[in-house]
């Protein structure tokens, strides 16, 4: 099934069914509704596909096969690819792909193929891998396939009858713990955490006996360092200790114990029996250290989720609960930035996109290669959950259009960590006589954050202009447009001096000069321009791999610092001579005097 997107035919999906059924099927891409098909810990990796029957009097001979193309940047051992089917009432079912082949006929791509028994809205998701097993009456030692270090030991008669179990493991990166500690000093004592474990116990049978759970919780690096130093000291003084033991055995033993006591950590179990009850600290659960960073403990009740925290010193339970909440929220969100860049050759064409902060540098490099540059610079980073939306509109004397006709609309970007939400827009001035005291038209792009809870459950998602009046903006980006030179019929005796024309002339001269200097690999410092060091750093960040653009941006920054009355040509010629480029100084003077600007 092909659909038209951005003027091109794109493969939506492949459906294998009897010919008479295919004639009655209608397929379309409904990415505007993607917020409605994802939950926390799920990542969308495909288009959202709606498959309907065009003739409701016809019956479809189920089952039929559908294959949906997807792109997954990373999966890891803890995640798996699933297809989610959502019906018109927003009830969802998860389907395990029968194939993840890279070909459908002659079409090369990665596809998730499933067998379906009903139509609806389909999406391919990267989900936490579900471990399913049944605990028999005779007991069970279950090691998880996602991480064999995690195990659940059920003694005989733990349950009165066979009990099915479903587990998911959410790993916690050490960098995430460090980030939370950096934001709040009160979390300083948190050394590390185990993975976050989610457990479903469908039979809800009570525990007749405690179960033993073992899972990794990284050790204190300070403890390991001190332990290594202790071992080194022991090796050096081995002979002395053997002699001392013969005379003072009790003293040496006491000394060794004291050294170990300084290295002790505190281990705490946090969890919740259900989401309504919230997080709780289980002080009565004794957690023991095992070798190689493993910890184990006994549990005599069912918890929907739990995590073990390693502390360097005792922390109040109130702060532990706050940390658990912050950790759970951080695991479900990604730090992101909004980028608004314009085409260098055409400042009226802009691109707006959402980028995960960890991929920002790579994203900016890709935009530079496409010919897009700032200003404005990307926004400060902010957290976004999967499926949350950024709505934006333009204020001031600039507005935008997606098709070049309908201006003044509200636009939407939906965040999915493994997809690249992006819009290419055309901008223009609202009032050509506005901003009369400035050489530019000025406007602002205002961005609003829309959480999943704020989105109505409707497959049609219209954008309403006035629904943000009572909402504070998430961020703003200022932008400008150069003014046009107006052609006015005047008497020949009237001399017209156009500041806009002068600006265009200088832009042309500076870009020519930047190209000439870049050919000789002239460094920015060698230009001897009186600019701050911070300006040099900013220029290098904006155009990291293009020396011509770096020099051009530096020259533009220098020109902006000059008063209107300054003789720019004479000053620039002076700095070129000072930099050892008298040839370019003379050529610049010749171009300026003879009005040769290309």
CATH of 334-482, one of 3.30.300.30, 2.30.30.100, 2.40.110.10, 2.60.40.2660: 2.60.40.2660
Segment 459-468 shows an average pLDDT of 74
CA 136 from chain center: how many Å? 42
> pLDDT digits over 400-418, tens only?
998 878 888 899 999 999 9
Count of CB atoms within 10 A of residue 240's CB? 10
- At 513, the pLDDT band (50, 70, 90 cuts) reads confident
**Strand 163-170 versus strand 130-135 pairing type:** antiparallel
pLDDT attached to residue 245: 43
Residue 597: band (very low, low, confident or very high) from pLDDT cuts 50, 70, 90: low
Question: How confident is the model at residue 57, as a pLDDT?
Answer: 67
Q: Does domain 499-594 have CATH number 3.40.1440.60?
A: no
Which comes out higher in pLDDT, residue 457 or 45? Answer: 45
Going from the C-alpha of 288 to that of each of 73, 147, 228, 485, 579, the distances in angstroms are 38, 20, 21, 78, 69
User: What are the domain boundaries of the chain?
Assistant: 2-128, 131-220+265-331, 334-482, 499-594
Rounded to an integer, the average pLDDT of 473-501 is: 66
Token pair listed for 153? 């030991």
| CA gap 287, 449 in Å, rounded | 42
Express as a percent the part of the chain with pLDDT over 70.
85
- 108-114 own/partner pairs: CB under 8 Å, 24+ apart: 109/11, 109/69, 110/69, 110/70, 110/71, 110/72, 111/14, 111/67, 111/68, 111/69, 111/70, 112/46, 112/67, 112/68, 112/70, 112/81, 112/83, 113/65, 113/66, 113/67, 113/68, 114/65, 114/66, 114/83
Alpha-carbon span 37 to 445, nearest angstrom: 29
Answer yes or no: is pLDDT of 479 > 50.
yes
pLDDT in tens, 224-245: 555 554 444 454 454 444 444 4
pLDDT at 498: 44
Place of tokens 């902006």: 560
Sequence length of the chain is 598
131-220+265-331: CATH topology is: Chondroitinase Ac; Chain A, domain 3 (2.60.220)
pLDDT of residue 5 exceeding 70, the answer is no
pLDDT at 594: 73
Is the pLDDT confidence value at 96 over 70? yes
What is residue 496's predicted lDDT score, i.e. its pLDDT? 43
DSSP annotation string for 18-80: -HHHHTTEEEEE-GGGGGGG--TT-EE-B--EEEEES-TTS---S-EEEEEEB--S---TTEE
Which pLDDT does position 483 carry in this prediction? 82
**2-128 adopts what CATH topology?**
Chondroitinase Ac; Chain A, domain 3 (2.60.220)
Residue 275 pLDDT level (bands cut at 50, 70, 90): confident
> Picking from 76-85, 146-155, 287-296, 576-585, which range would have the lowest pLDDT averaged per residue?
576-585
Domains 2-128 and 499-594 belong to one CATH topology? no
């Amino acid at each position: 099934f092909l659909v038209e997107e951005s003027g091109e035919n794109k493969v939506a999906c492949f459906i294998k069914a009897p010919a008479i059924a295919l004639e009655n099927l209608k397929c379309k891409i409904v990415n505007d509704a993607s917020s409605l098909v994802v939950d926390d810990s799920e990542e969308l990796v495909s288009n959202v596909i709606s498959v309907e029957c065009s003739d409701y009097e016809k019956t479809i001979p189920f089952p039929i096969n559908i294959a949906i193309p997807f792109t997954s940047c990373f999966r890891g051992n803890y995640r798996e690819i699933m297809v989610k089917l959502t019906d018109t009432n927003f009830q969802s079912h998860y389907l395990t792909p029968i194939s993840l082949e890279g070909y459908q006929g002659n079409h090369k791509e990665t596809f998730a193929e499933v067998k379906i028994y009903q139509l609806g809205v389909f999406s391919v998701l990267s989900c936490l891998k579900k471990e399913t097993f049944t605990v028999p009456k005779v007991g069970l030692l279950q090691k998880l396939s996602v991480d064999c270090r995690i195990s659940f030991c059920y003694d005989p008669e733990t349950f009165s009858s066979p009990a099915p179990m479903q587990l998911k493991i959410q790993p916690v990166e050490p960098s995430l713990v460090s980030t939370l500690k950096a934001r709040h000093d009160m979390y300083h004592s948190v050394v590390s955490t185990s993975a976050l474990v989610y457990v479903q116990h469908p039979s809800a049978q009570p525990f007749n006996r405690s179960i033993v759970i073992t899972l990794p919780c990284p050790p204190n690096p300070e403890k390991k360092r001190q332990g290594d130093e202790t071992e080194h000291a022991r090796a050096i003084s081995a002979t002395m200790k053997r002699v001392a033991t013969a005379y003072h055995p009790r003293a040496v033993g006491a000394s060794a114990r004291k050294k170990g006591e300084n290295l002790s950590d505190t281990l705490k179990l946090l969890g919740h029996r259900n989401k309504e009850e919230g997080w709780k600290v289980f002080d009565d659960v004794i957690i023991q250290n095992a070798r190689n960073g493993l910890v184990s403990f006994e549990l005599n009740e069912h918890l929907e989720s739990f995590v073990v925290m390693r502390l360097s010193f005792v922390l109040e339970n109130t702060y532990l609960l706050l940390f658990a909440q912050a950790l759970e929220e951080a695991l479900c969100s990604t730090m992101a930035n909004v980028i608004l860049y314009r085409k260098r050759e055409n400042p009226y064409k802009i691109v707006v996109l959402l980028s995960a902060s960890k991929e920002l540098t790579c994203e900016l490099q890709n935009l530079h290669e496409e010919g897009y540059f700032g200003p404005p610079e990307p926004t400060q980073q902010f957290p976004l959950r999967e499926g949350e939306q950024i709505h934006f509109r333009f204020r001031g004397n600039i507005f935008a259009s997606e098709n070049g006709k309908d201006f003044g609309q509200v636009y939407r970007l939906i965040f999915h960590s493994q997809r690249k939400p992006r819009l290419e827009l055309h901008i223009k001035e609202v009032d050509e006589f506005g901003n009369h005291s400035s050489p530019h038209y000025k406007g602002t792009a205002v961005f609003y954050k829309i959480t999943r809870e704020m989105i109505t459950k409707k497959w049609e998602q219209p954008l309403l202009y006035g629904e943000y009046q009572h909402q504070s903006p998430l961020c703003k980006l200022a932008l400008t447009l150069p003014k046009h030179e107006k052609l006015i019929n005047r008497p020949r005796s009237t001399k017209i001096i156009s500041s806009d024309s002068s600006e265009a002339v200088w832009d042309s001269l500076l870009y020519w000069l930047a190209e000439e200097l870049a050919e000789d690999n002239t460094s920015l410092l060698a230009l001897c321009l009186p600019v701050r060091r911070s300006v040099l750093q900013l220029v290098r960040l904006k155009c990291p791999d293009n020396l011509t653009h770096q020099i051009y941006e530096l020259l533009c920054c220098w020109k902006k610092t000059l008063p209107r009355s300054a003789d720019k040509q004479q000053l620039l010629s002076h700095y070129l001579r000072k930099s050892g480029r008298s040839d370019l100084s003379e050529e610049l003077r010749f171009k300026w005097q003879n009005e040769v600007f290309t």
